[in-house]
Structure 1
Amino acid sequence: MMNRRHFSASIAAGAVASLVASRGAAAADAVRPSAARNIVFVHGLFADGSCWSDVIARLQARGMNATSVQNPLTTLPEAVAAAQRVLARQQGPTVLVGHSFGGMIVTEAGMHPNVSALVYVAARAPDAQEDYGALAGTYPTPPASAGIVFDGDEGRLSEQAFLRDFAGDLPEARAKVLYAVQQPFSRPLLAGRVTQPAWRSKPSFYAVSTQDRTINPDLQRFMAARMKARTIEVAASHLSLVSRPDDIAGLILEAAGQAA
């Protein structure tokens, strides 16, 4: 016969299991996006819109309409406005994809009514008015941070840091081409804060780069878990969109409600 203590423990365990199951079901419901044919990409620091080329080619082969925003990297409001202008041109549901700092832009611009789902690729995913620098400071500092150099208010990544810490799993020749086209950013960009995080109301997906030396992988995992994102882990550098384009394209197709 079950004594009172065992009975109480059984009831408590059942309640916890029920709560976990209900939360899991809610998370599953949250990542069921509308079918979309449009994909809009936002690049981050130390890059330009061409960094998405390998992913774009794979999506175009699947009949998707892809557009890569040329992020001005000046201030967060100006960067968000650039993305919103591209989103306004889309006809129908659109998946908005951001890499690295581009996640800041996706988080804010994702409130646009055309956006049906968000995809973060080794990207920042802040909450409303959150100091991302303070959040990142609670994790070990990634090596790439030491490679940022400024000319006045214009910042860029040194060649050594770019090749080793940003694009470490790419052939050197390919990485050097990407280094040559990196777009400098303005220091005021880093002070921007998100006002409305779209991931709180829209299906979200996250690709964690497990070998990342630019954004700590555990920080990526924290942000993905916080937003209850459908998450994959990719054994890649910060540039998984270049070194593992099949994986990234597959996650985007999932966010677009398309069979991989």
Structure 2
Amino acid sequence: MNSTKRAVLTAIAASALSISTAVQAQSPTASHLTIPNVVLVHGAFADGSGWRGVYDNLTARGYKVTIVQNPLTSLADDVAATRRVLDLQPGPTILVGHSWGGTVITEAGVHPKVAGLVYVSALSPDVGETTAQQYEGFSPTPEFVIDIRHDGFGVINSAKFKAGFAHDTTDEDAAFMRDSQVPINMSVFGTRLENAAWRTKPSWAIIATEDKAFDLEMLRHMAKKIGAKVTEVSASHALFITQPSVVSDTIDAAARSLGAATAN
């Protein structure tokens, strides 16, 4: 090989290495993250598929993301489902809950693999409290209506679904969510918690300022009570679907903050 050809090939190889290094720097993988694992817990009237946008966003950043499928039959059942997923995580994990999922992660978050908690317009009772008690002193919103069936399970009123749960989605998406609702056993809201993970684990809260399932001041009160780092976003209660970038950014910030603290 003559010297000119060798010089050209060397230059091409050096350029390729430079480009590869730049791409890797812009696209972190799990190996670059101190807290690389994320577990997502859905709330009432929904299932884990609503997390797809957040899942795609975080996995593209290199996180290992796992989604819990809550049976919504009792607090104990939902906590057990979450713990089973946490048991499978290979290391420290960010545990995320939406709405009723906030109660679930509050109870399940004492799991030793949980490094931090992210509440997505979510409930956060204390030890000995029920979920229902979180509503006391706050005004109910007329748009959010639950129909309770003869068996004690509830669903969001069909006519009120979009206005109450997902007003910032398309009519087609709201109709799909309405027609794929997962009923919740309404007795779960009267179950007292035995643990409050936010008392010992760092917490973050994302508050949807147009949430019709909860009074805005109720969300702010809960976030203040648990000492959460707060992000507010103009969105409906379905922000876990409609605001995947904001939710993902907050989870990423939590993971990096805790990772940096662990490294130090």
Q: How does 1:1-260 map to 2 (within 5 A)?
A: 35-257=34-256
SS in 2 for 1:168: coil
Deviations 1:35-74 (A, max 9, x none): 3111101111110011111111100100111111000101
Question: In 2 relative to 1, CA 96–168 (structure 1 residues): closer, same or farther, beyond 3 Å?
Answer: same
Could you tell me how far 1:143 is from its partner in structure 2? Answer: 2.6
For residues 96 and 72 of structure 2, what CA distance do their matches in structure 1 show? 16
Alpha carbons 1:143, 1:214 under 8 Å: kept: no
**Residue 51 of structure 2 aligns to which amino acid in structure 1?**
W
CA RMSD of aligned residues (A): 1.6
For residues 43 and 256 of structure 1, what CA distance do their matches in structure 2 show? 19
TM-score (norm 1): 0.83
Deviations 1:147-171 (A, max 9, x none): 3332422211122222111001111
Alpha carbons 2:127, 2:196 under 8 Å: kept: yes
Of 131-140 and 108-117, deviating more is 131-140
Could you tell me how far 1:185 is from its partner in structure 2? Answer: 1.1
In structure 2, the gaps of 5 or more residues are: 1-32, 260-264
In structure 1, the gaps of 5 or more residues are: 1-33
**Residue 197 of structure 1 aligns to which amino acid in structure 2?**
A
Matched residues, number: 226
For residues 142 and 65 of structure 1, what CA distance do their matches in structure 2 show? 37
Could you tell me how far 1:224 is from its partner in structure 2? Answer: 0.5
TM-score (norm 2): 0.82
Could you tell me how far 1:194 is from its partner in structure 2? Answer: 1.4
**Residue 55 of structure 1 aligns to which amino acid in structure 2?**
V
SS in 2 for 1:143: coil
Of 229-238 and 172-181, deviating more is 172-181
Alpha carbons 1:76, 1:193 under 8 Å: kept: no
For residues 235 and 176 of structure 2, what CA distance do their matches in structure 1 show? 19
SS in 2 for 1:41: strand
Could you tell me how far 1:134 is from its partner in structure 2? Answer: 3.0
For residues 224 and 98 of structure 2, what CA distance do their matches in structure 1 show? 17
Deviations 1:9-29 (A, max 9, x none): xxxxxxxxxxxxxxxxxxxxx
Alpha carbons 2:103, 2:131 under 8 Å: kept: no
Deviations 1:183-224 (A, max 9, x none): 111232222221110001001000011001001111110011
For residues 179 and 146 of structure 1, what CA distance do their matches in structure 2 show? 13
- Equivalent residue for 1:24? none
Of 206-215 and 153-162, deviating more is 153-162
Could you tell me how far 1:145 is from its partner in structure 2? Answer: 4.3
For residues 186 and 246 of structure 2, what CA distance do their matches in structure 1 show? 32
Q: How high is the sequence identity, in percent, across the aligned residues?
A: 38
RCO higher in structure (CA 8 A, sep ≥6): 1
Deviations 1:89-112 (A, max 9, x none): 001110000000010100010000
- Equivalent residue for 1:3? none
For residues 85 and 104 of structure 1, what CA distance do their matches in structure 2 show? 17
Alpha carbons 1:156, 1:185 under 8 Å: kept: yes
